[in-house]
Amino acid sequence: MEINELEIEKLKSDAKQGDAEAQCRLSALYYSGDGVEQDYREAFKWSERAAKQGYVPAQHNLGYLYYRGGGVKQDYQEAAKWYKKAAEQGNAWAQCDLGELYYRGLGVQQDDDEAFKWYMKAAEQDNTAAQIIVGRWYRFGIGVAKQDYQEAFKWYKKAAELGNEYAQSEVALMYYTGKGVEQDDKEAFKWSMKAAEQGYAISQSCVGDSYSEGKGVEQDYCEAFKWYMKAAEQGEETAQFGLGKLYSEGKGVKQDYQEALKWYKKSADKFAAALNIVGDFYNEGKGVEKDVEEAYKWYEKASLCGYAKREFLIAQKDFGEWLTAAREGDVKAQYHMGETYSKGIKIEENAREAIKWYTRAAENGYIEAQIKVGEWYLDEDNDEAVKWYKKAADQGSVKAQMELGKLYSQGTNVTKDYDEAIKWYKKAADQGNRRALFKLGISYENKGDDEEAFKWYKKAADRGDKLAINYLNEKPLNKK
């Protein structure tokens, strides 16, 4: 809700006179930048004044500012102190946030029992974030005596009934799988629809699936198309694949191979099956000019994911022709020889010959081969592995960029370096990789920069990344 200048001046006047509620509200305005220039130091100053007067919402906010390092040096112990003051007086958000600190061992000794205690107190006050966390803990058996799907369903349902779209999607999933509740496609559809109507991309895709398959609702391809499109436009790959299928088959929409190919391509980052379908389109000239070489490229991508169309690859040349072409410097043939020896295609497996041909193709700049060589050297020669990953990454390979980000983030085979991880994840993110956005959030959080971490988690969530959505639902950072 917008606030006008007169209201702001009144708040400032009341705050200066010691009105704790006014101080707390003024702090929130400075934090968000609503009606005033954003100023975290001013936000901290006014929250601290109100908190020291015993005003519970301000005590929670002050803990939050210490947790985030907003207007003050980040200090988890101070965050825990102020969260606890507010939590002990019944503030649900403070209880939820205190639970997080105990769970992560920030500012307090790590203690799952204490974490669960505070999460439960918040959940019992209808704090949906806490209800989701309690549901998740029961669902996966985290911090509780045993896994309990019925308890998980109970808490997800409470949050869902309060309108939380993530919880609604989880309730739908449990009805669909029959875990914690009797399997019921109609109920699954009902709860998916509730979340979908709030714009939750994953649920919009599920609604599309239900209409397409006639599960829990009468089959209706036109409705399936409508909901797939809503989710697909948010970057949800499952829905993009569904759109490709509907356009290809002419169900719910006029058959259009060009549109089908467009959507299959968009979904190909997540679905290896889409890689082969795109290859088929090029190989058969559906919606695009027939291009066997382009088809080969897509089939190769599928092969890297374990979904190769070997009948196509082998049909192009027999072994002798491939070998001759490889010896003459044909980079695709060199890569194919690596595949042939690596996976025993019409010849006995031979690891030494495989890496020899992969390396030749890699030296000639073939990205997929550079990745293969990088994978080969992992654990044996880490410098060599990183070298080849970087060659592929520098050519724009998202897979190699993500792998480098992972190596540097986890310190696997290389010295842990969050800045280097961030560099490579950003390159992948710049090419539209949704998971890279989430990985950037993790990397910044590991660096202790929660402000920047939140920014990337939010970007990932806005793109429909389920891990990011789960994270923000469990550990929301903007609770003013």
> Could you tell me if residue 166 is inside a domain?
no
In a shared domain, residues 109 and 2? yes
Higher pLDDT, 190 or 332: 190
In a shared domain, residues 7 and 121? yes
Q: What is the pLDDT of residues 110-123, one digit of tens each?
A: 999 999 999 999 99
In a shared domain, residues 377 and 428? no
The Cα-based distances of 44 to 100, 213, 410 in angstroms read 21, 53, 34
What stretch of H or E contains 356? helix 351-363
In a shared domain, residues 383 and 341? yes
In a shared domain, residues 55 and 91? yes
> Could you tell me if residue 360 is inside a domain?
yes
Q: According to the model, what pLDDT value does residue 440 have?
A: 92
> Could you tell me if residue 439 is inside a domain?
yes
Contact assessment for residue 336 and residue 293, using Cβ atoms and an 8 Å cutoff = no
Q: According to the model, what pLDDT value does residue 445 have?
A: 85
CA dihedral of 446, 454, 458, 123, whole degrees rounded to 10? 100
Residue 38 main-chain phi, psi, to 5 deg: -60, 135
In a shared domain, residues 347 and 453? no
Q: What is the pLDDT of residues 422-476, one digit of tens each?
A: 999 999 999 888 889 999 998 988 888 877 888 888 888 777 777 777 776 655 4
Give 216-265 as a DSSP string: SS---HHHHHHHHHHHHTTT-HHHHHHHHHHHHHTSSS---HHHHHHHHH
Q: According to the model, what pLDDT value does residue 313 have?
A: 52
> Could you tell me if residue 146 is inside a domain?
no
N-to-C CA span, the chain: 13
CA dihedral of 193, 469, 167, 235, whole degrees rounded to 10? 10
Q: What is the pLDDT of residues 17-75, one digit of tens each?
A: 999 999 999 999 999 888 999 999 999 999 999 999 999 999 999 999 999 898 999 99
379 pLDDT more than 80 = no
Q: What is the pLDDT of residues 133-173, one digit of tens each?
A: 999 999 988 888 889 999 999 999 999 999 999 999 999 99
Q: What's 93's domain CATH number?
A: 1.25.40.10
> Could you tell me if residue 357 is inside a domain?
yes
> Could you tell me if residue 369 is inside a domain?
yes
Q: What mean pLDDT is predicted for residues 374-388?
A: 85
> Could you tell me if residue 175 is inside a domain?
no
Q: According to the model, what pLDDT value does residue 383 have?
A: 83
Q: What's the residue count for the chain?
A: 480
Q: What mean pLDDT is predicted for residues 183-198?
A: 97
> Could you tell me if residue 150 is inside a domain?
no
Q: According to the model, what pLDDT value does residue 307 have?
A: 65
Q: According to the model, what pLDDT value does residue 457 have?
A: 84
> Residue 16 is part of which domain span?
1-125
Give the count of domains, the chain: 3
In a shared domain, residues 10 and 105? yes
pLDDT band at 271 (very low <50, low <70, confident <90, very high): confident
In a shared domain, residues 384 and 402? no
- End residue of a domain, out of 366, 390, 414: 390
In a shared domain, residues 370 and 405? no
How many other CB atoms are found less than 10 A from the CB of residue 33? 12
- End residue of a domain, out of 99, 125, 151: 125
Q: What is the pLDDT of residues 294-350, one digit of tens each?
A: 887 788 777 666 665 654 554 445 667 777 888 888 888 888 788 878 866 445 567
In a shared domain, residues 379 and 432? no
In a shared domain, residues 5 and 121? yes
Q: What's 378's domain CATH number?
A: 1.25.40
- Give every CB contact of residue 190 below 8 A, 6+ residues apart in sequence: 172, 216
* Residues of the chain above pLDDT 70, percent: 92
C-alpha–C-alpha distance, residues 267 and 263, integer Å: 6
C-alpha–C-alpha distance, residues 51 and 456, integer Å: 30
Q: According to the model, what pLDDT value does residue 140 have?
A: 85
In a shared domain, residues 98 and 9? yes
